[in-house]
Amino acid sequence: MGKEVVMPKLGLTMTKGKIVEWKKKEGDKVEAGEDIVVIETEKITTTIKAPISGIILKIYAKEGEEVPVGQIIAFIGMPGETPPPITRGEEVTQPLDVRQKMEVKAEVKAEVRSTPRARKLAREKGIDLTAVRGTGPGGMITEEDVLRELESKTKFSLLGIRVREIIPMSPMRKEISKRMTQSLQTMAQVTLSMEVNATNLVKIREEIEKKTGEKITYTDIIVKLTSSLLKTHPYLNATLEGDEIKILDEINIGIAVALDQGLIVPVIRNADKKSIVEISREAHQLADKARENKLSPDDVAMGTFTVSNLGMYDIDSFTPIINPPQTAILGVGRIKKSPIVVGDSISIGYTMWLSLTFDHRVLDGHTAAKFLKELASIIENEEELRRKVS
């Protein structure tokens, strides 16, 4: 018996997914568990596997198409079976029907005379027909009129400069844009920065690598220290919901990973309960999965605090933006050789900048400053640092 392949719901907020690449085509034989299509959601790119062995009898959605959750995208069966008779024209969700009806009503109210093909193209390209000059009989708007309007919109930017290329925003880029705008518009964000003597951090990292044989990054150590410190700074591990501050019972640290298509933040769950080696291994695994587009929804969910390290790009200091609904994010700059003043003497050591952005609605500056100062003190104290990461 054949089996429908539908667009899966990979998160509570997911409503649709985009077909990125079909690994198989109609008529191809597939085995159960074999990759058949790559999809992209607002947060991740992942692969859907064949639910059964058989033949791909029909593909309903083409590459680049956005498909609502639960809608059939392919049918796998045996020769002779008949795929469900669903056409692309019938694969429109109710919310889209409503929008289309609203557009049609708006056109009627404005008494815009246009051909069916012109209306269809205008809907697809987001063109307002009331702004299009019709050249057909009696001022009728034709498909060619819509194409001219589309060309005029894409030829020049808002700056009046000719456009060389138009790049549609990917679902991931749209989500990043939405969340960053939401973050800055809804939170009272303040950033505190501090230069830290990182000489002991460099030394202890080398010690850990020699002792464990593991490749330990500075981010791994910062995650370990931060997760431990958050236990005594609960307002930095919280959410603000309405007029209630909710202190969270788990410390889950998100690590910002840069990809070609955008930024993704996989999460190390219960980081405060894990050793530096466990954190390092998990961080490496998550980063690899992110770069290979193999992150699952669980890998990027339930973060309570985020660490963003731009040191590998030779950035000294920056202002990180909070990942909502979290209340804080720690930015980590590069570690570089610098003159270090200790008492009345100067020596050559290593320094780094730490930048803590926090939501001033939830906590005050002195609370955030205390957290940052304690973190810096641990990094600068050799024995305390060794004890915290051992």
Residue 350 has what pLDDT?
98
Q: What kind and span of H or E run contains 189?
A: strand 189-197
User: How many helices (H) and strands (E) would you count in the chain?
Assistant: 9, 19
pLDDT value at residue 156: 67
Lowest-pLDDT range of 61-70, 160-169, 250-259: 160-169
Q: Do 100 and 23 have their domain in common? A: no
Domain with residue 24: its CATH number is: 2.40.50.100
| pLDDT greater than 70 at residue 12 | no
Q: In which domain, by residue range, is 12 found?
A: 3-90
Last residue of a domain, one of 90, 110, 136: 90
Average pLDDT (139-163) is 78
105 shares a domain with 81: no
369 and 305, same structural domain?
Answer: yes
Please check whether residue 167 lies inside any domain of the structure: no
Q: What is the DSSP-derived secondary structure letter of residue 169?
A: P
Any domain includes 134: yes
**Rg of the chain (C-alpha set):** 27
In this structure, what CATH number is given to the domain that contains residue 113? Answer: 4.10.320.10
**108 belongs to a structural domain:** yes
User: Is a pLDDT exceeding 80 seen at residue 245?
Assistant: yes
First-to-final CA distance of the chain = 56
Across the range 285-299, mean pLDDT stands at 88
Whether 184 and 269 map to the same domain: the answer is: yes
Token reading at 122? 């205008």
Question: Residues 255, 146: one domain?
Answer: no
Per the domain annotation, does 162 fall within a domain? Answer: no
The whole-number pLDDT of residue 157 equals 67
Q: How many CB atoms lie within 10 A of CB 254?
A: 25
Do 113 and 258 lie in a common domain?
A: no
Looking at the predicted structure, is the pLDDT value of residue 85 above 80? no
pLDDT class of 190 with cuts at 50, 70, 90? very high
Comparing 16-25, 89-98, 179-188, 368-377, which segment has the lowest mean pLDDT?
Answer: 89-98
Concatenated DSSP letters of 2-59? -EEEE----STT--EEEEEEESS-TT-EE-TT-EEEEEE-SS-EEEEEPSSSEEEEEE
Q: Are 317 and 355 in contact (CB under 8 A)?
A: yes
- Whether residues 63 and 99 share a domain: the answer is no
Segment 362-390 shows an average pLDDT of 97
Domain contains 161: no
List active site positions.
360, 364
Q: Is 83 inside any structural domain?
A: yes
Query: The domain spanning residue 325 has which CATH number?
Result: 3.30.559.10
- In terms of Cα–Cα distance, which of 315, 388, 313, 303 is closest to 354? 315
In a domain, 166, yes or no: no
Q: What is the pLDDT of residue 104?
A: 40
Q: Examine residue 349 and state whether it is found in any structural domain, yes or no.
A: yes
Considering 90, 119, 147, which residue would you say is the last residue of a domain? 90
Residue 340 has pLDDT above 70, yes or no: yes
Mean pLDDT is highest, among 127-141, 174-188, 303-317, for 303-317
Question: For residues 11 and 184, which has the higher predicted lDDT (pLDDT)?
Answer: 184
198 pLDDT more than 50 = yes
CA separation for the pair 52, 160 (Å, rounded): 54
- Least confident stretch, 20-24, 104-108, 205-209, 282-286: 104-108
pTM (two decimals): 0.69
Residue 237 and residue 194 share a domain: yes
As for how many domains the chain has, the answer is: 3
